[in-house]
């Protein structure tokens, strides 16, 4: 068997962090002062920086984005046996967080243009499949209470949120935004992560900014913020005698990681410009390649362009997205397909879905392209050339060549 070229690090990886600026200085400060763990000045500073950036009142740093989601759902009042509407086209973390609460996901299909939770499917489910009774909304088929909506802003692009917020108000549902991939995105001029009752961000290594691993919960509700702090620190009522009021969690972010986060927040505006420039370069480089379409921004949106994403039409391009992925791999270019639609995931077998196959089709056709903020224009041009060179139409008919000439 031939060696997999990606056993070596990819020459052009999908998305790697950029730890420039003050990261080293702030981490050294933690070590020099011995404030390395879950108490320390950088945690509060990082929380303030992110809250101010988003225009939210309160932020609580956590050890990862998934734990921020878990706590957010609890604060939203989601209880065992409830149901939560979740995007079906997303990384699995938000659906798992629903299950951690003992609740059940209802998977909502994506709209085909921007890959986000489709507000029409949300409306269809709430209006047609539920009933209002005893001051709550009930799923008629399962007889479970519907408690919250968890829209995921996937790939850095905002969900069309206004219709969803309106439905949530109508049916008294909490909205928890999963903005894990979308720190810095805007929806109709408003910051993503500042629109739901609660919002969550991830600082995993591949996200818009990173702390190595980490997350944050955001809200404007003082009581919710206080409770989030309580639950993420083992629900300690009496710190000297170790009296715990209930079962809490160890979900806090260490000062060492918050220090990295502070340095990353200083770089965020630069990172967002870099991501936008990367997608503009891809748009130029991929223009005219038959069967390749770069995912664009909705008129209502300003995306973080977390990962540049293309749709491959195999009939026109001559290869499937998976074949293109494998081809890029032989050139040591890392690309990645989208997540399996969660209503098809063995992990969530049997969950109800409101879908018409859109997410599944998007998953089959889509590919994320290298999008690290330090990516050079020449590297993007190279990726585009490799994609162009693999296109059947270009090679067989010379369409591409004649277009360039």
Ligand X SMILES: *Cc1c(COP(=O)(O)O)cnc(C)c1O
Q: Catalog residues that contact ligand X under the rule CB under 6 A.
A: 64-66, 90-91, 93-94, 152, 178, 180-181, 202, 204, 215
CB of 265 to ligand X, least distance (A): 16
By beta-carbon proximity to ligand X, the closer residue of 150 and 387 is: 150
CB of 49 to ligand X, least distance (A): 18
CB of 35 to ligand X, least distance (A): 23
Sign of CA dihedral 248, 249, 255, 261: negative
Which residue in the shown chain puts its C-beta closest to ligand X?
A: 65
CB of 51 to ligand X, least distance (A): 18
By beta-carbon proximity to ligand X, the closer residue of 159 and 310 is: 159
By beta-carbon proximity to ligand X, the closer residue of 178 and 281 is: 178
CB of 350 to ligand X, least distance (A): 22
The CA angle 370-371-377, to the nearest 5 degrees, is: 90
Contact 178, 200 (CB under 8 A): yes
By beta-carbon proximity to ligand X, the closer residue of 153 and 331 is: 153
CB of 94 to ligand X, least distance (A): 5
Contact 129, 139 (CB under 8 A): yes
Tell me the two tokens of residue 291.
């069967």
Beta-bridge partners for 310: 294, 367
Helices of type H across 183-243 = 222-231
By beta-carbon proximity to ligand X, the closer residue of 54 and 387 is: 54
By beta-carbon proximity to ligand X, the closer residue of 181 and 360 is: 181
Nearest to 34 by CA among 256, 213, 260: 256
Q: What is the DSSP string of 141-182?
A: TT-PEEEEEE-B-GGGPPP-HHHHHHHHHHTT-EEEEE-TT-
């Amino acid at each position: 068997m031939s060696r997999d070229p990606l056993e070596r690090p990819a020459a052009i990886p999908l998305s790697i962090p950029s730890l420039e600026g003050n990261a080293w200085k702030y981490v050294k400060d933690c070590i020099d002062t011995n404030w390395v763990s879950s108490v320390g000045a950088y945690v509060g500073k990082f929380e303030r920086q992110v809250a101010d950036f988003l225009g939210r009142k309160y932020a609580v740093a956590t050890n990862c984005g998934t734990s921020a989601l878990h706590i957010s759902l609890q604060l939203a009042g989601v209880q065992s046996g409830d149901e939560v509407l979740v995007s079906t086209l997303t990384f699995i973390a938000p659906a798992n967080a629903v299950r951690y609460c003992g609740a059940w996901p209802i998977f909502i299909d994506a709209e085909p243009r921007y890959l986000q939770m489709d507000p029409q499917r949300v409306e269809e489910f709430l209006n047609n499949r539920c009933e209002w009774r005893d001051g709550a909304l009930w799923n008629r088929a399962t007889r479970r209470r519907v408690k919250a909506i968890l829209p995921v802003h996937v790939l850095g692009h905002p969900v069309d949120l206004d219709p969803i917020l309106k439905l949530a108000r109508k049916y008294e549902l909490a909205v928890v935004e999963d903005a894990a991939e979308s720190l810095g995105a805007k929806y109709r001029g408003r910051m993503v992560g500042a629109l739901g009752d609660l919002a969550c961000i991830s600082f995993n290594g591949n996200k818009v900014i990173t702390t190595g691993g980490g997350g944050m919960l955001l809200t404007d509700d003082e009581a919710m913020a206080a409770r989030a702090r309580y639950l993420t620190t083992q629900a300690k009522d009496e710190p000297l005698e170790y009296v715990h009021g209930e079962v809490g969690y160890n979900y806090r972010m260490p000062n060492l990681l918050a220090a990295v986060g502070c340095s990353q927040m200083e770089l965020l505006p630069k990172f967002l410009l870099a991501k936008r420039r990367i997608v503009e370069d891809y748009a130029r480089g991929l223009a005219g390649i038959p069967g390749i379409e770069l995912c664009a921004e909705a008129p209502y949106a300003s995306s973080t362009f977390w990962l540049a994403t293309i749709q491959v039409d195999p009939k026109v391009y001559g290869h499937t997205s998976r074949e293109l992925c494998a081809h890029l791999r032989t050139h040591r270019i890392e690309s990645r397909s989208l997540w399996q639609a969660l209503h098809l995931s063995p992990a969530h077998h049997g969950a109800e879905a409101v879908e018409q196959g859109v997410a599944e089709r998007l998953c089959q056709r889509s590919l994320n392209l290298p999008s690290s903020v330090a990516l050079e224009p020449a590297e993007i041009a190279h990726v585009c050339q490799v994609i162009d060179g693999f296109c059947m139409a270009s090679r067989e008919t010379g369409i591409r060549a004649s277009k360039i000439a």
